[in-house]
Amino acid sequence: MKKLLIGNWKLNPTDEATAKKLFSGIKTKASRLRKVKTIICPPSVYVSALAKGATSKCAVGAQDLFWEVKGAFTGQVSAPMIKRLGADYVIVGHSEMRAQGDTNETINKKIKKAFEYRLQVILCIGESERDHDGHYLEFLQNELKEGLYKIPKKLLRNLIVAYEPIWAIGAKAKAASTPQDFLEKSIFIRKVLSHIADKDTAMKIPVLYGGSVNEKNAEGFLTEGKADGLLVGRASLSKDSFNEMLGIAERVK
């Protein structure tokens, strides 16, 4: 399986010219790699411009979608709209969208609609805090079970799961998680996925780590943590940092 390196640009950069320049700088590096697939998720207004230059090694994704395809839904963007703009992927359930009201139920509707329009889904899950009794594991299990409720098994081959503990994401995070901890969580995630679908399907779903990843800690998550890839926020806005991570992902065994 190729390593997946996903850049979530969030509400950045502030203009299209800068977005195109950053994408092109990343694509140059990404195009030379055999063992890595790069997916850049810019704000949706830049998807079309970047998708014109997308390749099989450097694809474009959107950061969210709405579950209806037309009607009185101010501010929303539909699955067919982002697909037509050239996105092949879409992030669903990011903690910043959950904080704005997304629930496991709305996430489930979004995933179903994304699959209907042949978008591959990057489903983000993650707890906001840890507790000694392990209730957070139940929370993660529910995010998967409810988010993937009644989705046919065969569609799950279009799913990527990103484990992003909320306490490890963004500028306010104290630190990233650790490779060992990610490894344990990814085993747990695969176990839940094998109950939702079956073992064979679960083993084929890439499980990524996200949360304060940078060029210094990327290698640990990919080797010791055995991550199938990384979902990168802040460090994906620096061409040099992101390209260094691409090089690391190409080199690791």
Positions touching ligand PEP (CB under 6 A) are: 8, 164, 169-170, 173, 210-213, 231-234
Which residue in the list 96, 127, 143, 164 is annotated as catalytic?
A: 164
Does the active-site annotation cover 105? no
Measured CA distances, 97 to 30, 62, 106 (Å): 28, 13, 11
Nearest distance, CB of residue 187 and ligand PEP, angstroms: 21
Least spacing, CB of residue 68 vs ligand PEP, in Å: 25
In the chain the first and final C-alpha atoms are separated, in Å, by 11
The residues near 94 (Cβ < 8 Å, ≥ 6 apart) are 8, 63, 64, 124, 164
- Find out whether the peptide bond into 206 is cis, omega within 30 degrees of 0: no
Report the phi/psi class of residue 79: left, alpha or beta, with left for phi > 0 and alpha for psi in -120 to 50.
alpha
Query: Which residue has its beta carbon closest to ligand PEP?
Result: 233
Smallest gap from residue 148 Cβ to ligand PEP (A)? 20
**Cα 124 to Cα 189: distance, rounded to the nearest angstrom:** 12
Collapsing DSSP to helix, strand or coil, 193 comes out as helix
Q: Which is nearer to ligand PEP, 139 or 149 (CB)?
A: 139
Q: Which of 94, 96, 127, 215 is catalytic?
A: 94
The distance of closest approach from Cβ of residue 9 to ligand PEP in the complex, given in angstroms and rounded to an integer, is 10
Nearest to ligand PEP of 66, 211 (CB atom): 211
Q: Is 132 a catalytic residue?
A: no
Q: Given the complex with ligand PEP, which of 95 and 108 has the nearer CB atom?
A: 95
Rg (CA), the chain: 17
Give the nearer residue to ligand PEP in terms of CB position, either 64 or 164: 164
Task: Compute the least distance from the CB of residue 210 to ligand PEP, in Å.
Answer: 4
Between residues 63 and 78, which has the closer beta carbon with respect to ligand PEP? Answer: 63
**Residues whose CB is less than 8 angstroms from the CB of residue 42 and which lie 6 or more positions away in sequence, other chains included:** 9, 19, 23, 50, 60, 63
Q: Find out whether 212 and 230 touch, Cβ atoms under 8 Å.
A: no
**Active-site residues: which are they?**
94, 164
